[in-house]
Amino acid sequence: MKNAPNPRIGVVVCSCGGQIAEKVNVEVLAEKAAELEGVVKVSRVDNLCRQDLSRIKQDFQGCDRLLFAGCSERSSLTFTEDRIGALLSEMGLNKAMFEVANLREQCVWIHDGDLTGKALDMLRMAHAKLKSNLPTPDPVKIMPKSIVIGGGPAGMQAAVDLAAAGTDVVLVEKRAYLGGHFCQIPYLLQCEGWPAMCVSDCVAPVQARKVAFSPRVKILTNAEVADIARENGNFRVTITRQARFVDPERCVSCGKCAEVCPVEMQNEYEYGWTKRKAIDKEYRLAIPDTYTLDSGACTRCGECLNVCPTGAIDLDAQPEIVEDTFGTVILATGFKTLNLNTLEELNYASPNVLSSMEMERLIAARLNRPGGGEVERITFMLCGGSRSAGKEIPKGMPYCSKTCCSIAVKQANRAAALKPHAEIAMIYFGDVRTYGRAFEQFYNDAKDYVEFINGEVVRVEDADAGLKLHLVTPDGETEELETDLLVLAEALLPQGNRLIEKLKLKTDRYSYPLEVQPRILRPTESFIDRVYIAGAVTGPKMVQESIEQGSAAALRALQHGAKGEKELLKFVSEVDPERCSHCRICETVCPHGAIRMTGEGAAVDQAFCQGCGLCASACPSHAIRLRNFSNAQILDQVAVAFSEVNGDEPKILGLLCYWCSYASADLMGVNGLKIPQQNFRSVRIRCSSSVNAGLLLEIFKMGVDGIIIAGCPPKNCHHGSGNYMTAKRVMLLNTVMRQLGLSAGRLKWEYIGVPMWRDLAKAIEEMDRTLRKLGPNPFGRSL
């Protein structure tokens, strides 16, 4: 990386109220700092974070970058990298132009004795990197406009909240009306407090009207996202919209068209239990308040045209393709239900076996079955295709769909209210999981009128009157039970898989899109920048929970929507197309979907780059580099890292991932753990996979005797699979080393999470012991 012409470096040496000065001769440190290339000003302070900040701003005018020798920029409770960035901005400097020598957490707090030597090395390392830092590129303009995909509760809420805060929204809904499953569920559980319900006939239109009345929301119903691609920091979206045969601006929903329409068809809203006409409104309260025409069923007889009082119908209407560009995407495509026909034993083909969603509509119809039929004995079966592992019928999904127990209890409650004399049973698999105080109360109350049976239904037969169920109890006994109606609380699955794939969202094994790490702090944020996931697509949810997530997603999207720009990280990938060999390995490894192949080679869309460096370290052509984290910068640090280490001492380098392992090293100090290995140096790397085996060898060539490379623990990599990649790289390199008679003990991979500082200390101690036995690295020159 090219050095900036004549960097003007300011160095702040903080004694941290004497804590650093106790073991480090800060005067010597300041003197030596002044001798370093490009240093124009050195200040010594005692209390940088609390009292000396304003002084810094004055003292360092004229500097273009600052080096702070003091506490950890990762773990300090008062002076972190964010705060330093803000300070630099106030000073008119670019936020990338600083480095920290972490003298407190990773030097004076972990060692005893005079540490001036180690502190000097750490200062030199920070300086070696800082002198070649480059400014963060300018922010990227993004469209201050959001697309919300899915008009269920989560999507509607996100759209309403974004619009209320001033962002333009396009809401795309596959069905003819807003609400999704929400408006098909007549009684909605309230999640907290006492056991209570809302009715969707009340709240669904309230929510949908808010969307419809918002001038900032453009609603596209009967529409689907055909394509979504990243382009110049934005999302370029192609939406296909079915022909609008009825103009919603003119239709007054009088229903005259449906009266004369000769074509009857199944009403999907009611799961086919009722009929609708080819031109009709599937659901009376549907919003947008308009009739729609099913193009496939319509015979174009023209009867409706004759009766429509407002001339709203146009049988020649054509489908539309809408193309637009958005800065943020909210994916709220909801759930789909497990295909119960896959559980043949449960006889779903029988009209007396219903899914949970079908039961919702039957409750809406006050338990009056369209074809007649007794509903005096109702049996619910929980875990219908959920928690399949260990079952007699191990089919369906192995996970718990979370909502079904509470929903089944609610349905039992409604059924009991509608038919007080009905016999209601509920067969549960091991346990009833009515989580939270409201749902558990529902369950306890239900014990008065529901017989709960522990067991698994293994076969369902048609009987003379209704059904005969065969059960296996936990003791292995078989039982039989007769019922009129069996309701299977079916497993839920994510919907929208095609889009999830197109967006390259990281998913779990069941195709649920995942939130990015640390997901506890970043709810609704996917692995792709500015793609937010909300509602049941992220996992089964109550309507209320989906709405909460919709709001959360809106707030996150708003941060970009309101500004119309995306601030880039100081670490962003940059491609040299001249070198690119089009092997597409970068694209394969990028966990954030920021890279795509073009005719000219790989192209990084920096507005999506999260600076993990996986691409740069995997690129065999070295066509990609990570800004402010180049191989040369790491080697520059290594070159000075061990200047003060006695020639006989093993030189141990820790390459510690940005998020977990570096923080863990800090916590050794924070927790007062002392390690004697003053010959240990650390470099805070991006993802553990931001360095490759070639660089590790270069580091060995420079004379480092042992390397510990550490990253996030399993299942917790912030960049998808970086930890596993590095574990594999190290395993291969260790194999090569062994084949060439070199001890693999010189290179260790460790999964080190933040609280695993004791393990890190142990790894350092072990490496030190190993290296003292092995002697100097035979491939290195002396440092």
Partner 1 sequence: MSRIRIILNWGASCGGCDVSILDVGRAILDLPESVEILYWPVALDFKRQDLENLPDGSVDVGIINGAVRTAEQEEEARIFRTKCKQIVAYGSCACFGGIPGLANQFTSEELLQRAYFEAPSNVNEEGTMPQPVSGQEGFSLTLPEFLPEVRSLEQVVPVDCYVPGCPPSNSTIMELLGALGSIAAGNAAKKVLASDKALCYDCPRGKTKEAKKAATLYRPHEIIAGSEHCLLEQGIVCLGFATRGGCGARCINVNMPCRGCYGWLPAMSDPGAEAMSAIASITGEWEDYLQPPKIMEVLEAVKDAVGIFYPFSLPSAIINRKRG
Interface positions with partner 1 (CB under 8 A): 508-509, 579-585, 587-589, 597, 614, 617-622, 631, 689, 692-698, 700-701, 714-715, 721, 724-729, 731-733, 735-737, 739-742, 751, 778-779
d(CA 759, CA 671): 13
Minimum distance from CB of 514 to partner 1 (Å)? 9
Q: Are strands 187-189 and 197-199 parallel, antiparallel or unpaired?
A: antiparallel
Minimum distance from CB of 515 to partner 1 (Å)? 13
Minimum distance from CB of 712 to partner 1 (Å)? 11
Minimum distance from CB of 600 to partner 1 (Å)? 12
Provide the token pair at 541.
């949810």
C-beta of 373 vs 714, nearer to partner 1:
714
Minimum distance from CB of 589 to partner 1 (Å)? 5
C-beta of 86 vs 736, nearer to partner 1:
736
d(CA 8, CA 144): 38
C-beta of 103 vs 695, nearer to partner 1:
695
C-beta of 354 vs 695, nearer to partner 1:
695
C-beta of 437 vs 498, nearer to partner 1:
498
Minimum distance from CB of 735 to partner 1 (Å)? 4
Helix (H, G, I), strand (E, B) or coil at 600: coil
d(CA 442, CA 28): 71
Minimum distance from CB of 507 to partner 1 (Å)? 10
C-beta of 65 vs 596, nearer to partner 1:
596
Minimum distance from CB of 400 to partner 1 (Å)? 15
C-beta of 136 vs 692, nearer to partner 1:
692
Kindly report the backbone phi and psi dihedral angles of residue 720, in degrees, each rounded to the nearest multiple of 5, phi listed first: 85, -85
Provide the token pair at 446.
């239900």
C-beta of 543 vs 760, nearer to partner 1:
760
Give the CA diameter of the chain: 99
Minimum distance from CB of 691 to partner 1 (Å)? 9
| Run of H or E including 572 | none
Exposed, middle or buried: residue 673 (CB in 10 Å: 0-12, 13-18, 19+)?
A: middle
**What is the DSSP secondary structure assignment for residue 520, as one 8-state letter?**
T
- For tokens 């039929």, the residue is 373
**What is the DSSP secondary structure assignment for residue 377, as one 8-state letter?**
E
Cis peptide bond N-terminal to 262, omega within 30: no
C-beta of 195 vs 713, nearer to partner 1:
713
d(CA 150, CA 116): 61
Q: Are strands 377-384 and 423-428 parallel, antiparallel or unpaired?
A: parallel
C-beta of 120 vs 733, nearer to partner 1:
733
Minimum distance from CB of 749 to partner 1 (Å)? 10
d(CA 645, CA 681): 10
Helix axis angle, 116-130 to 631-641, nearest 10°: 160
CA dist 179 → 206, 273, 287 (Å)? 10, 20, 8
Helix (H, G, I), strand (E, B) or coil at 205: helix
Contacts of 178 (CB under 8 A, 6+ apart): 151, 156, 171, 207, 208, 211, 212, 219, 221, 286, 287, 288
Provide the token pair at 615.
């691409």
C-beta of 45 vs 589, nearer to partner 1:
589
Around Cβ 185, how many Cβ atoms within 10 Å? 27
Minimum distance from CB of 142 to partner 1 (Å)? 25
Decide: 14 and 24 in contact? Cβ < 8 Å.
no
C-beta of 523 vs 694, nearer to partner 1:
694
| Run of H or E including 325 | strand 320-326
Kindly report the backbone phi and psi dihedral angles of residue 781, in degrees, each rounded to the nearest multiple of 5, phi listed first: -90, 165
d(CA 341, CA 553): 35
Minimum distance from CB of 342 to partner 1 (Å)? 22
Minimum distance from CB of 332 to partner 1 (Å)? 24
Helix and strand tally (H, E) in the chain? 20, 38
C-beta of 459 vs 582, nearer to partner 1:
582
Provide the token pair at 414.
């409604």
Contacts of 529 (CB under 8 A, 6+ apart): 566, 592, 594, 607, 608, 609, 610
